Amino acid sequence: MMCTNKKITILFLFIFLNSLAWGQNTPPRKTLYLKDGSFLLGHLIAERVDTYHWELTDGTQILLQKDQVRFIKEQHPNYYHLKDGKIKRTKGFFTSLMIGGLFERKTSEWSEPNHSPSINLAVGYQLNPKLAVGLGTGYDIYDTPIIPLYLNFHGDILHSTTTPYYRISAGYGFTSPTQAQKTNANASYSGGILIHPSIGLKFHTRTNLAWLIDFGYRFQRYNREFVWHETPERWTLQRTTLRIGMEF
């Protein structure tokens, strides 16, 4: 467990320092509106007396007569237009919703693994495409359900329409006993720390919505105490996670 936590910490520090050093080297994108009603995404390379030298999002460069152009408009500073018109958030507030499962590895031939559904919601701020910081919560339906509250760090790895991304969540899980557990006066439950690293794929669209799928591993501690025991039982739930979701 300690070795795993150390590896997670080293990975997080590497990603965090890399994201701080990241800078966008491409020129700001603009939208060029033509008099025929169409528009072109890209940026202006040079302006001459009667022409615009324009580069499209796929790298193609063209010359346009000024009498063909209605006007040129700066794009929203918090978004970047990728190839095929897909939009990528570079800065600003976000909301993400993830739904999936927590899958337990079979530990013995006498017991069946206990799988649990999970739903999580996070809101936060995108500092740059490689680092966003947020606050999340949700509902994890273990035998004793848990409501997590955690800090969330995530970011894109590549600058493309479909990109791998990382996500690291760390916080505390509060127990939410079932009605049957609440009626048992001989037992009580309390939560514990939560750590959840994951990697996934993000699919950008032509709107500010992006589709997500990720795979990770969740560590969740909680305590169970019985009146006839002097010390509580301390449990560490370790689950492989597979989730789908959206970010907007």
CB 222 within 8 A of CB 239: no
Provide the token pair at 85. Answer: 């018109």
User: Side-chain half-sphere of 4: how many Cα atoms within 13 Å?
Assistant: 8
What Å distances lie between residue 92 and 124, 205, 227, CA to CA?
Answer: 8, 17, 50
The per-residue pLDDT for 83 is 67
The per-residue pLDDT for 131 is 94
The per-residue pLDDT for 183 is 77
The per-residue pLDDT for 24 is 46
Burial 107-143 (b: 16+ CB within 10 A, else e): eeeeeeeeebebebbbebebbbbbbbebebebebbbe
Q: How many CB atoms lie within 10 A of CB 45?
A: 13
| Straight-line distance from the first to the last Cα atom of the chain, in angstroms, rounded to the nearest whole number | 35
The per-residue pLDDT for 73 is 83
**CATH class for the region spanning 30-74:** mainly beta
In the block, residue with structure tokens 């958030």: 89
Query: Which residue from 247, 194, 184, 191 is spatially nearest to 219, judged by alpha carbons?
Result: 194
Q: How many CB atoms lie within 10 A of CB 55?
A: 17
The per-residue pLDDT for 51 is 93
CB 93 within 8 A of CB 71: no
Task: Look up the CATH number of domain 89-247.
Answer: 2.40.160.20
The string of DSSP codes covering 152-192 is: EEEEESSSSSEEEEEEEEEEEEEE---HHHHT-TTEEEE-E
Q: How many CB atoms lie within 10 A of CB 220?
A: 22
Hey, where are the domains in the chain? 30-74, 89-247
CA gap 220, 240 in Å, rounded:
12
Along the 248 residues of the chain, how does pLDDT read in single tens digits?
Answer: 555 556 555 655 555 555 555 544 455 678 888 898 888 888 889 999 899 999 887 788 999 999 999 988 887 778 877 767 688 888 999 999 999 999 987 665 544 567 899 999 999 999 998 999 999 999 999 888 999 999 999 999 998 899 999 999 999 999 887 777 777 767 778 889 999 999 999 999 988 899 999 999 999 998 887 767 677 778 888 999 999 999 99
